[in-house]
Amino acid sequence: MASLSFSYRSAKTKAFLEMRFAYRIEKNENPISFYTRSKIEVDKSYWKNVHSKNSKDPIIQKEQNRLNAEMTDLRTVVLDKFENTEIELISKDWFLNIVNEYYNPKKEIPAEIIPTYLVDYIPYYLKEREHEMKSTSVTKYNVIKKKLQRMETSLNKRFEILDINENFKKMFVRYYESQNYSQNTMHRELGFIKTICRHARTKDIPTSKELDLLKLEKDKVKHIYFSEKELKELETLKGLPPHLDNARDWLVISCHCGQRISDFLRFKKEMITQKQGVKLINFTQKKTGKEMSIALSGTIEKILQKRNGDFPHSISDQKYNDYIKTVCEKAGFDELVKGKKQENINKDKDEKKGKKKKKIRAVSGVFPKHELVTSHIGRRTFATLKRDSMPLSLLMSMTGHTTETALNTYLQMEEEDKAVKTFKYL
């Protein structure tokens, strides 16, 4: 049997009522009691002389009802807890904790609302991974989100995570083909969508049984690279105006260091150190966050000497890609080769602005080699030309690749050239 009673135990004219919680244990004549102050504040005179008496005064009745309600609430909470607690766990701290929780209830944290629609889930996914995802990856996911929004508008349909199945893949392919996106764009972006859905699965969002089986073939695209002869022609090309000479030097540097444009265009002489007579450049790869230290080739050192020890001046990625095409055209790289290049395929005009709407897509065809040159040609050239002369482990150390499979995507060698190289082993 347990009870909770209230009393006025203060010399002050106004104070908080004291609570006494008492209970008995079998075969124990004396009750066990715990005391603490409540937050029910009353006048001493009122409590002693008025509260327990019948009154017709509406003001007194209101005060009696208020105090009785508060005491009843507390009594109910404490006694209910007592009935549902093992007797061995009852203690002064137990009592104080119940009173504290009564006056300071824990705020319930609202349950996290996780989106179940694919487009809505993308921002949630990016937020979940914000501390581990590079800005370039965030941009890619946001681009896919916009494409999916346009697709949903076109189809007048919203896709839930559960809808990502074979039927979705068919609609996805039809829409991307109608927008002239390449097979490799479809292959890559379906992979991103599957990644999003698998993440949703870890949050107990239902996914299709077909999700992991979704697959699109990838086109084998032949990327160009410079031969040893072409690279030498670039290095010795004369008569270029300053802006093209600057871009040419960057292009040559990229072919001798094997780095991405996001890294080599940031090179500064302050990043150069020297060890055992070898000049090194230290930097962090922007895409991977990997700490890099690579040796500067003799060709790169000549470019630095030409510029008083500094690298060419920095330019934007767009200007670099435009300028190196012109440089290669002036170098006479006009051989017709198969490949893909970015073109504006939309010839329609925006009637409101009087301008053509741009719709840039990768277009396959046969083009003069210089038209297919992009910033990545330096990385491919380096990997391809050094593959046979440099140990694989050192080559991967230079490029920053962690697997041979990843490195092999950069090796662009004609089958006949491969056959010639194997002759010495026959």
Q: What is the pLDDT of residues 265-304, one digit of tens each?
A: 999 999 999 999 999 999 999 888 889 999 999 999 999 9
Residue 25 predicted with pLDDT over 70 = yes
Residue 29 predicted with pLDDT over 70 = yes
Residue 411 predicted with pLDDT over 90 = no
Residue 416 predicted with pLDDT over 80 = no
Which range, 50-59, 240-249, 286-295, is most confident? Answer: 240-249
Instruction: Read off the amino acid at residue 149.
Output: Q
- Residue 368, beta-bridge partner list: 336
Q: Which of 129-133, 262-266, 354-358 has the weakest average pLDDT? A: 354-358
- Residue pointed to by tokens 């719709």: 359
Residue 156 predicted with pLDDT over 60 = yes
Residue 402 predicted with pLDDT over 80 = no
- According to the model, what pLDDT value does residue 268 have? 95
Across 79-95, average pLDDT = 92
| Residue ranges covered by each domain of the chain | 2-103, 118-213, 228-333+373-425
Give the C-alpha separation, 259 to 296, whole Å.
12
Contact 331, 237 (CB under 8 A): yes
Q: What percent of the chain clears pLDDT 90, i.e. is strictly above it?
A: 71
- Count of all residues that appear for the chain in the document: 426
Across 29-35, average pLDDT = 87
Give the C-alpha separation, 16 to 250, whole Å.
81
- Residue 22, beta-bridge partner list: 3, 33
Residue 397 predicted with pLDDT over 90 = no
Residue 200 predicted with pLDDT over 60 = yes
Q: Which helix (H) or strand (E) holds 75?
A: helix 58-83
pTM of the entire predicted model: 0.64
Give the C-alpha separation, 214 to 298, whole Å.
49
Across 25-48, average pLDDT = 89
Residue range 228-333+373-425 in CATH 3.30.70.20: no
Residue 173 predicted with pLDDT over 90 = yes
Residue 354 predicted with pLDDT over 60 = no
Contact 265, 317 (CB under 8 A): yes
Residue 170 predicted with pLDDT over 60 = yes
- According to the model, what pLDDT value does residue 420 have? 53
Show the 3-state SS of 304-373: HHHCCCCCCCCCCHHHHHHHHHHHHHHCCCCCEEEEEEEEECCCCEECCCCEECCCEEEEEEEEEHHHHC
- According to the model, what pLDDT value does residue 359 have? 80
Give the C-alpha separation, 114 to 127, whole Å.
12
Q: How confident is the model at residue 400 (pLDDT cuts 50, 70, 90)?
A: confident
The four Cα atoms 323, 328, 334, 339 give a dihedral, to 10 degrees, of -70
The rounded mean pLDDT for the chain is 90
Give the C-alpha separation, 345 to 364, whole Å.
12
- According to the model, what pLDDT value does residue 351 have? 47
Residue 415 predicted with pLDDT over 90 = no
